[in-house]
């Protein structure tokens, strides 16, 4: 859980990283506002290993009031709410009230399914966005206040699926509204009350609610939509049958606690949301369709500003080639935009909350996280012999020297050290002389590292895979060059068998 706003004083390089992150978000706020008068609230924070280590904001909580948002300002978090819906459902399963492999129709007897024919979608299908229901943001975002009785009539009128379950990813809010109704059915209580009892209260999320009317006026970030005549205040909506899709309101302080809870999925504590359930939420289940940028040839998830990913249970999981698994969720709602993301191995995360319709905070949040991961931040992972391994890889990259006891014999058996030195020299013709003080180490997990050096022509990186036994040694050493911005990669080098293929997910 976040212990304070600044657990320790950051070093100068970390401060520079924070300044760059702040500049990026302020630039986003300026782009949102354009030439209009006033800027709606925008706030962002960095968490690391359970502590909130950086907070900043811009804009006003209500246009003209002169109040900047702070860690306790409450925003609607839109679809970040789905993580609470998934966690609540898993807790109910743990208590024996639901079965995630049972069809949703078992708990919604009035549901009329219009097909396709075959087996009906289960709770797990719906939670993992593979139930077959079509994407429906534009429609669903306007349904929150629908009553439970009206929702039951809606389901009885017939629901439409475009595919059979588990055939493809489709972002269905209707499916999550069904989850909310199932929670009410099996507990006999309103959905917001159940989530509050199981999660908000036990986790100490004191600012988090489904009802904007309970938020003190001076702590509420009003939502706005930009029109041709300027900013238009959006009327807040009250909780209803679609609250599970995006009805939660929260603050940076509380969302820092929530992200820190989810990011601690590798720990074994059995708190309000046990680690086994946190891990289930963040296991990739449904692949998200991807697209390839024709200019760069690099893949990214279609419609989302990150790389190749899948949907788990209430959370997107990106597979980043440099940093490993990164959990995300994006949120957009009339008057609001939000994003949360964290690195599964280290627990470092970024949260951004905005007070304008579909505020585009996802790209700067994702880039902010990856800029932090390029720093040698503290990690909860322990790797035996890490310092010696990094020193050995560093020595080879700088001088071509092989340190005894660092590399497994298979490294030289796969390709001789002379072949590797030839490759190193070739890549240095692209990157130029390496700056010996500029070594950056990214820990992907307890067996994979990325070591980088900067040169005038770009970055030289080494992907490192360690042996699965002690003493840990390097079993794979894959070198690759990342051209400096503006310099295209050498087309002749792309076909070299001695050069690792490079995939970057830094596309905004």
Reference 97, options 198, 210, 169, 192; nearest CA is: 198
Tell me the pairing of strands 249-250 and 75-76.
Answer: antiparallel
pTM here? Answer: 0.84
Cβ contact 189:78 at 8 Å: no
Residue 356's Cβ-count burial label (10 Å; 0-12, 13-18, 19+) is buried
Domain 386-495 fold: Nuclear Transport Factor 2; Chain: A, (3.10.450)
Domain 85-187 fold: Methane Monooxygenase Hydroxylase; Chain G, domain 1 (1.20.58)
Output phi, psi for 461, to 5 deg: -125, 150
C-alpha angle with apex 394: 389 to 396, nearest 5 degrees? 100
Say what the pLDDT of residue 2 is.
35
C-alpha angle with apex 350: 25 to 130, nearest 5 degrees? 110
Query: What's the number of CA atoms in the CB half-sphere (13 Å) around residue 401?
Result: 10
Say what the pLDDT of residue 496 is.
32
Q: What is the CA radius of gyration of the chain?
A: 24
**Distance from C-alpha of 242 to C-alpha of 175, rounded to nearest angstrom:** 10
Cβ contact 293:300 at 8 Å: yes
Tracing tokens 């051209």 back to the chain, one arrives at: 483
Per residue in 62-87, is it b (16+ CB within 10 Å) or e — as a string?
bbeeeebbbbebbbbbbbbbbbbbbb
CATH 3.40.50.2300 fits 12-75+201-373, yes or no: no
- Extract the tokens encoding 138: 């534009």
Say what the pLDDT of residue 178 is.
98
**Distance from C-alpha of 29 to C-alpha of 41, rounded to nearest angstrom:** 9
- Extract the tokens encoding 57: 């904001």
Output phi, psi for 111, to 5 deg: -65, 130
Cβ contact 437:455 at 8 Å: no
Tracing tokens 């966690």 back to the chain, one arrives at: 87
Query: Which residues of the chain, if any, have pLDDT below 50?
Result: 1-8, 377-379, 486-508
**Distance from C-alpha of 183 to C-alpha of 201, rounded to nearest angstrom:** 17
Beta bridge partners of 480: 461
Say what the pLDDT of residue 480 is.
92
Provide the 3-class DSSP secondary structure of residue 307.
Answer: coil
Say what the pLDDT of residue 265 is.
64
Residues, the chain:
508
Tracing tokens 């079965």 back to the chain, one arrives at: 99
- Extract the tokens encoding 381: 């992972």
Q: What residue spans define the domains of the chain?
A: 12-75+201-373, 85-187, 386-495
Say what the pLDDT of residue 296 is.
66
Per residue in 410-458, pLDDT tens?
A: 999 989 999 999 999 999 999 999 999 878 888 878 898 889 999 999 9
- Extract the tokens encoding 118: 């075959």
Cβ contact 464:389 at 8 Å: yes
């Amino acid at each position: 859980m976040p212990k304070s706003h600044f657990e320790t004083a950051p070093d100068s390089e970390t401060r520079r990283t924070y300044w760059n992150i702040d500049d990026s978000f302020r630039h986003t706020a300026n782009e949102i506002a354009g030439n209009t008068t006033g800027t709606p609230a925008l706030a962002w924070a960095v968490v690391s290993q359970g502590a909130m280590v950086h907070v900043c904001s811009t804009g006003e909580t209500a246009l003209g009031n002169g109040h900047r948002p702070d860690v306790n300002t409450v925003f609607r978090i839109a679809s970040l709410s789905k993580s609470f819906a998934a966690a609540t459902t898993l807790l109910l399963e743990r208590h024996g009230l639901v079965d995630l492999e049972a069809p949703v129709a078992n708990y919604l007897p009035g549901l009329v399914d219009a097909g396709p024919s075959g087996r009906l979608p289960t709770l797990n299908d719906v939670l993992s966005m593979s139930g077959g229901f079509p994407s429906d943001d534009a429609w669903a975002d306007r349904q929150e206040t629908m009553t439970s009785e009206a929702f039951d009539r809606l389901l009885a009128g017939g629901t439409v699926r475009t595919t059979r379950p588990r055939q493809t990813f489709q972002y269905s809010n209707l499916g999550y509204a069904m989850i909310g109704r199932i929670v009410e059915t099996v507990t006999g209580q309103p959905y917001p009350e159940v989530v509050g009892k199981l999660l908000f209260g036990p986790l100490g999320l004191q600012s988090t609610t489904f009802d904007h009317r309970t938020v003190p006026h001076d702590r509420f970030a009003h939502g706005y939509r930009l029109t041709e005549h300027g900013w238009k205040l959006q009327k807040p909506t009250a909780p209803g049958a679609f609250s599970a899709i995006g009805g939660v309101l929260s603050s940076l302080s509380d969302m820092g606690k929530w992200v820190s809870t989810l990011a601690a999925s590798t720990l074994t504590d059995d708190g309000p949301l046990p680690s086994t359930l946190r891990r289930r939420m963040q296991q990739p289940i449904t692949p998200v369709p991807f697209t390839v940028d024709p200019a760069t040839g690099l893949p990214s998830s279609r419609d989302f500003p990150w790389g190749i990913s899948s949907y788990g249970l209430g959370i997107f999981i990106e597979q980043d080639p440099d940093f490993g698994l990164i959990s995300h969720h994006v949120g957009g709602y009339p008057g609001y935009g939000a994003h949360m993301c964290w690195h599964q191995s280290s627990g470092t995360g970024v949260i951004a909350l905005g007070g304008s319709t579909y505020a585009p905070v996802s790209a700067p949040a994702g880039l902010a996280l990856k800029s932090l991961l390029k720093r040698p931040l503290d990690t909860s992972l322990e790797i035996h012999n890490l310092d010696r391994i990094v020193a050995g890889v560093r020595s080879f990259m700088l001088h071509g020297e092989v340190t005894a006891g660092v590399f497994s014999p298979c490294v030289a058996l796969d390709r001789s050290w002379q072949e590797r030195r030839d490759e190193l020299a070739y890549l240095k013709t692209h990157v130029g002389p390496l700056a010996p003080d500029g070594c950056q180490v990214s820990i992907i997990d307890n067996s994979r590292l990325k070591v980088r050096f900067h040169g005038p022509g770009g970055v030289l990186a080494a992907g490192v895979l360690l042996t699965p036994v002690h003493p840990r040694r390097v079993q794979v050493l894959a070198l690759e060059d990342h051209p400096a911005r503006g310099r295209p990669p050498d087309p002749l080098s792309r076909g070299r068998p001695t050069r690792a293929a490079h995939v970057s997910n830094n596309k905004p």
